[in-house]
Amino acid sequence: GVSENKVPDKPKVIDYQKIYNQIADILEDNDYDDGSYGPILVRLAWHASGTYDKNTNTGGSDGSTMRFSPESDHGANAGLKTARDKLEVIKLANPGITYADLWSLGGVTAIQEMGGPIIPWIPGRKDAEDGSKCTVDGLLPDASKTSNHLREIFGRMGFNDREIVALAGAHALGRCHPDRSGYSGPWTTSPTLFTNDFYIELLKKKWQEKKWKGPKQYVDKETGELMMLPSDLALIQDKKLKPYVEEYAKDEELFFKDFSAAFHKLQELGLTRTGEETVYRFKRTSDEEVK
Ligand code: CCH
């Protein structure tokens, strides 16, 4: 029996589809009020990567610097501890995956499992040792501002007008929490389903300023149940952005295609790739039995 000791250790291949399935499995755990962890996992993946600055090649999802203060305490990241803590069980079960890859995969899993498009995904992000590479505050968009600000922030990441509008469609998901952002309410009537409803509601409803002590936001005139941020309404106030809102409201397939490409690009910002990497396209758990 000595001979098998000479067999060199097999390189550890991580089964990312297995981790995807494990994340899918905890999305609807009933220890969270919103019915699904999906939306907050998408927000975590977005805030981890949306700090990218193409001019200095800093920020982005590599490093998972949001684990450390001060980035964990940035106002824009309020509430995301809930998502990071939930993913801790997956990390414990799969110590080989980095936090940076896990947060990114969490977003991709959530989008696909909530009915969204397949998002091609590449692993390889590393975890920073400490908080020395934390990004500065103020790199993520400010919801009280309008299109010039969106162009400035998303332009810094390397996104154009069409991509700004495509990414904004993620607001079909989830809601604003007064104790996190100060804003309140969901954008759509199906906040745990990935659809093009954000654009449909934005165009269809009459939006009026909410009468309250909180920050300026809009509610729909008819029911008062749906909301828009000033930065959301900016997408139809700006003459160059509005045509994309109209396209995506009419054509969900086009939205899915453009969103998938833009979200993939977001997750890749700041990473050095050779082009030889395996690109994963995960199977949705609901597709498993389908042949
Ligand atoms: Fe967003 N977003 N987002 N957002 N966001 C909020 C919630 C979500 C802005 C502001 C806010 C993107 C772009 C923007 C999600 C995904 C994306 C909230 C409420 C604010 C404020 C947070 C709270 O109170 O919990 C602004 C400004 C922009 C400018 O463009 C992009 C891009 C994405 C992803 C592609 C998701 C999902 C949520 C719901 C989170 C939840 O917990 O329900």
Pair (82, 193) in one structural domain: no
Q: Residue 85 is part of a domain; what is its CATH number?
A: 1.10.520.10
pLDDT tens by residue, 128-139: 999 999 999 999
State percent of the chain over pLDDT 90: 94
Q: Residue 208 is part of a domain; what is its CATH number?
A: 1.10.420.10
Residue 253 lies in a domain: yes
- Report the distance separating Cα 18 and Cα 21, nearest Å: 5
Domain count of the fold of the chain: 2
Band of residue 7 on the pLDDT scale cut at 50, 70, 90: low
Residue 2 lies in a domain: no
Residue 167 lies in a domain: yes
Residues touching ligand 1 (Cβ under 6 Å) are: 39-40, 42-43, 46, 79, 141, 143, 150, 167-168, 170-171, 173-177, 180-181, 183, 229, 231, 263
- For residue 141, give the ligand 1 atom closest to its CA: 27
- ipTM, two decimals: 0.99
Could you list the residue range(s) of the whole structural domain that residue 253 is in? 147-259
Pair (156, 135) in one structural domain: no
Band of residue 2 on the pLDDT scale cut at 50, 70, 90: low
Residue 291 lies in a domain: no
Centre of ligand 1 from the C-alpha of residue 171, in Å: 6
Q: Which of 8-17, 76-85, 112-121 has the lowest mean pLDDT?
A: 8-17
Pair (96, 116) in one structural domain: yes
Centre of ligand 1 from the C-alpha of residue 2, in Å: 57
- Report the distance separating Cα 141 and Cα 151, nearest Å: 10
Ligand 1 pocket test target in 37, 52, 74, 176 with most atoms within 8 Å of CB: 176
Average pLDDT score over the chain: 96
pLDDT tens by residue, 63-96: 999 999 999 999 999 999 999 999 999 999 999 9
Region 219-248: mean pLDDT is 98
Pair (239, 267) in one structural domain: no
- For residue 177, give the ligand 1 atom closest to its CA: 24
The token pair that represents 260 in the structure block: 């998938």
Pair (68, 171) in one structural domain: no
